[in-house]
Amino acid sequence: MNLCWLTDIHLNFLSEKNRFVFYRQIRQTKSDVVIISGDIADAISLKLILTEMADNLGKPICFVLGNHDYYHGEIKKVRNEIRRLCAKRVLLYWLPSQKFVRINKRTLLVGQDGWADGRCGDYKKSRVVLNDSVLIYDLAQKVLQGKNQLLAKMQELADIDAKALHHNLMKNINADIKKIIILTHVPPFSGACWHNGIISAWDWLPFFTSKIMGDVILSAAQDNPFVDFLVLCGHTHSNGIYCPLPNLSVKTGKAQYNNPQIQKIITM
């Protein structure tokens, strides 16, 4: 089985014509399943583009959402809409509600969106301001109250997703499972937070890593040394590989606005 990995494709930036060109490129890979580690579109266009992708590709699409997928929207409302969409469309699988997808007898695909949690780098001294705190309703409400309130909300969102991933991993790992692919949007380790070939600077790390997600993944890999863990993420728009353990690899995808690309064909 071949998996076509995409990340940060931002298809809302493309014309319909150019989106169809990209879909044709995906079909030409002859992959069996498409997996996307977030930033597919924005809240306004997300349902339309996911439906369009499913209709044009005609194969299962397993995905998590990234921060941009919530732009111009409210997190709970976006997630409820995506749940309803996936319930109607048999080829669409939002992994946080799916719990897991069995790729083969020994391989599971799991995923959580993931949120930057401000625990890496120096959040207090950072002057970085992302569009997230303006364009995502839940964060915009908190930033008006102050920097500490924004951080608390970031960590609340990150902790909820990390807890859900921990539950899924603990529930589904058994003696038959030899490989687990984890889709998440935000790099779960500072060592996977790549920018132009190097690790992001201290002032950017708070907004580009999810330490709590990394803690969950690292613990699962340490407790299950005979399971191979592969984490696929994006968010930074720069690629790199980070291997904190012999059985744990984290691949961060490269991306560019207006030029979506296929990251890798993974053969199982």
- The CA R_g of the chain, rounded to the nearest whole Å, is 17
Length of the chain, in residues: 268
- Looking at residue 100, its pLDDT comes to 87
At 98, the pLDDT band (50, 70, 90 cuts) reads confident
Q: What is the CATH number of domain 2-267?
A: 3.60.21.10
Instruction: Please give the model's pTM, rounded to 2 decimal places.
Output: 0.97
- Looking at residue 99, its pLDDT comes to 80
Contacts for 151 with CB less than 8 Å, ≥ 6 apart: 118, 123
Secondary structure E strands in 175-234: 179-183, 194-195, 198-199, 228-233
Q: State the Cα–Cα distance between residues 34 and 120, nearest whole angstrom.
A: 31
Can you give the residue ranges of every domain in the chain? 2-267
What's the pLDDT tens digit per position in 184-196? 999 999 999 999 9
Look at residue 264 and give its three-state secondary structure: strand
Q: State the Cα–Cα distance between residues 107 and 260, nearest whole angstrom.
A: 27
